[in-house]
Structure 1
Amino acid sequence: MELPIRSRNRKPTGRQPYHALSAAFVRNVAQAGRYCDGNGLYLDVQPSGTRSWVQRLVIRGRRRELGLGGFPLVPLKDARAQALANRRLARAGGDPLAEKRRIKSMPTFAAAAEAVCAQMRPGWRNPKHGKDWLSSMARFAFPRLGRLPVSEVTTADVVKALRKVWHERPATARRVRQRISTVMEWAMAMDYRNDNPCDRIGPILGPQQDLVQHMRALPHREVASAIETVRASGAVSVVKLAFEFLVLTAARSGEVRGALWAEIDTEEHVWTVPATRTKAKREHRVPLCRRAEQILDAARTLGGGNPLVFPSGRGKQLADMAVSGLLKDLEIGAVPHGFRSSFRDWAAEETNHPREVVEAALAHVVQNKVEAAYARSDLFERRRRLMDDWSAYVGGGAGAPADDRPS
């Protein structure tokens, strides 16, 4: 058998060979030495018969030697592919050795998740959230993803981790998906990967069946009747006022229940919800229609100087069940959040108000660049007209006359 060029004890005499070795030679060679294949790739054969791959490269002006693994674990084909990739990276100014160290230090998904949790923990108001965050990942994500290098997690892996729980426990699945996505975003920021596999799982897993049921909403044509039912009920007055204020402002339940008099400007007819109390963590200005201000007048009389607009009987913030329980007791087939959907459907079906104005009224974070440009102005006066129209539609009366509004 003719031996390929051996580099040991020989000086280079010109251009190196290209693909000089054959698979049969690599498999059978017994004589110790280094055998050149091309692209700086050598088969190193020890007297013991052990064979391994070595590559010589000039990396940023310095001659270096890289180990590419042993044969037969790394076959000739794979060694050539890695050698070519290293050579291209070095010619482009990169450092294959640094890349090798980076891959070697690549954290597993579980380690990455723990790092993300540790970074976010100081910003969580409730210390229990960190425990819940990790326990949900340990239960639903780690069995499938935990031991994988964070760079190797694929869309298929995420789908397999979530498939069973996706329909059995939809709310939990959504939280876990968001947490997996957060880990992937962290990995991208750390240059461990270039994409987020969670971005593509929706069409694969399909729609969840509880979304509509969980946020039950009334057809917009039935909202006025619901308000009349609540007004006529024997429920606690402050709860009835909070409910109607929630409907008229299309605000979230927590924002209404936590509203403070310091946030209300009766001269400018505006309620400013601070960023600390909004879902989007952005200040949200809510225009107040005439009926909303009448509700505030009534609430002020009941409040007795409490800083909360709608305090409970004990002077604390109303519980979430106060409003939702009222609707359940009166057999109104909706949850508080569902009235935001009723408002949105009414605006789309019955009005000519632009979509971006409606989304701004709901304090939604817009994704479209054109809508984002609109959002920078917050469309306040256009939202005021929208909310006045909504108030008139649900029986709260028309907005205040133009001369009563700020210019």
Structure 2
Amino acid sequence: ENPARWRGHLDKLLPRHKRSTLPFPALPAEQVPALLHKLDRMANPAARACELLILTATRSGEVCGARWEEFDLEGRVWTIPAQRMKAKRTHRVPLTEAMLEVLEQVRGNHRDFVFLNARRTGPLPGNALRRVLDAAGAENCVPHGFRSTFRTWAAEQTNHPREVCEMALAHTLESKVEAAYNRGDLLDKRRALMEEWSAFLGTFEREVVFKALSVSEPAGGE
């Protein structure tokens, strides 16, 4: 046997190496509504996909590979199958009015895929989201960073329990005992959280637009 073999030998004798994790570049929550306003003015599938990614706090692959069969628009639920999830567990996303508005803009473009690539032959590639963020002037963040933005906002500006916020991100509970007993997905409680997130983004956006119009008004208000 190889004395330098790692698996089943040295991995039992030596301490495990911990990988250092660096946070993804992310925007503060207060800057996201202005970005959404810019994206709303861009007429392409990548902009719509980026809007849905921000509103749902999901991952790039989950949004870009979204299929219409996953959406129950009447019941307002997006069910992402296990094979498309990082943790390989089915994840339900409660749909808010803002999310439905984004989906309505791309309905009818393809019978299977929600967001199409430029050739209209398949789903949108993940790097398209990064490109559209650059085009919108958000070069200092990455698509995955919006999950961090959402989680920080939920912790600092809401009273929703930690487990509700974590399940909104499809994170598994750290405690295996807790996970074993808590097998629900808290959909109704997460719906309230996502409604609050959408309201925060929508309200702030209107304020940004209002301020922009006020600055451009001529003296005397004429």
Q: TM-score, normalised by structure 2?
A: 0.83
Asked if 1:382 is matched to 2:189, the reply is yes
Residue 335 (structure 1) aligns with = 142
- For residues 356-399 of structure 1, give each alpha carbon's deviation from its aligned partner in whole angstroms, at most 9, with x where no partner exists: 001101001112146425741100100000000000111179xx
- Aligned CA distance change for structure 1 residues 324 and 149 (closer, same or farther; 3 Å): closer
Instruction: Quote the offset at 1:330 in angstroms.
Output: 2.4
> Sequence identity, in percent?
44
- Aligned CA distance change for structure 1 residues 311 and 359 (closer, same or farther; 3 Å): same
- The ranges of structure 1 where at least 4 consecutive aligned residues each deviate by more than 4 angstroms after the TM superposition are 152-156
Q: What amino acid sits opposite 1:217 in the alignment?
A: A
Trace 1:60-99 onto structure 2 (pairs within 5 A). Answer: none
Structure-2 separation of matches of 1:374 and 1:312: 42
Trace 1:69-218 onto structure 2 (pairs within 5 A). Answer: 107-108=1-2, 145-146=4-5, 150-153=8-11, 156=14, 197-198=15-16, 201-202=17-18, 207=20, 211-212=22-23, 215-218=24-27
- Aligned CA distance change for structure 1 residues 358 and 371 (closer, same or farther; 3 Å): farther
Is contact 2:35–2:136 with CA below 8 Å preserved after alignment?
no
Structure-1 separation of matches of 2:192 and 2:46: 27
Is contact 2:39–2:48 with CA below 8 Å preserved after alignment?
no
Give aligned pairs, total: 202
1:286 pairs with one of 90, 93, 103: 93
Instruction: Quote the offset at 1:277 in angstroms.
Output: 0.3
Question: What SS does the corresponding residue of 2:27 show, helix, strand or coil?
Answer: coil
Residue 66 (structure 2) aligns with = 259
Residue 321 (structure 1) aligns with = 127
Asked if 1:306 is matched to 2:164, the reply is no
Alpha-carbon RMSD: 2.3
Question: What SS does the corresponding residue of 1:395 show, helix, strand or coil?
Answer: helix
Residue 367 (structure 1) aligns with = 174
Residue 30 (structure 2) aligns with = 221
Structure-1 separation of matches of 2:10 and 2:143: 42
Query: Gaps (5+ residues) in structure 1?
Result: 1-106, 110-144, 157-196, 398-407
- Aligned CA distance change for structure 1 residues 155 and 334 (closer, same or farther; 3 Å): farther
Structure-1 separation of matches of 2:179 and 2:7: 36
Instruction: Quote the offset at 1:237 in angstroms.
Output: 2.2
Q: Which is higher, the Rg of structure 1 or of structure 2?
A: 1
Question: What SS does the corresponding residue of 2:174 show, helix, strand or coil?
Answer: coil
Structure-2 separation of matches of 1:230 and 1:270: 24
Is contact 1:108–1:150 with CA below 8 Å preserved after alignment?
no
- Aligned CA distance change for structure 1 residues 336 and 290 (closer, same or farther; 3 Å): same
Instruction: Quote the offset at 1:232 in angstroms.
Output: 2.6
- For residues 54-112 of structure 1, give each alpha carbon's deviation from its aligned partner in whole angstroms, at most 9, with x where no partner exists: xxxxxxxxxxxxxxxxxxxxxxxxxxxxxxxxxxxxxxxxxxxxxxxxxxxxx547xxx
Is contact 1:291–1:396 with CA below 8 Å preserved after alignment?
no
- Aligned CA distance change for structure 1 residues 370 and 153 (closer, same or farther; 3 Å): closer
Instruction: Quote the offset at 1:275 in angstroms.
Output: 0.3
Is contact 2:114–2:123 with CA below 8 Å preserved after alignment?
no
Q: TM-score, normalised by structure 1?
A: 0.46
Residue 347 (structure 1) aligns with = 154
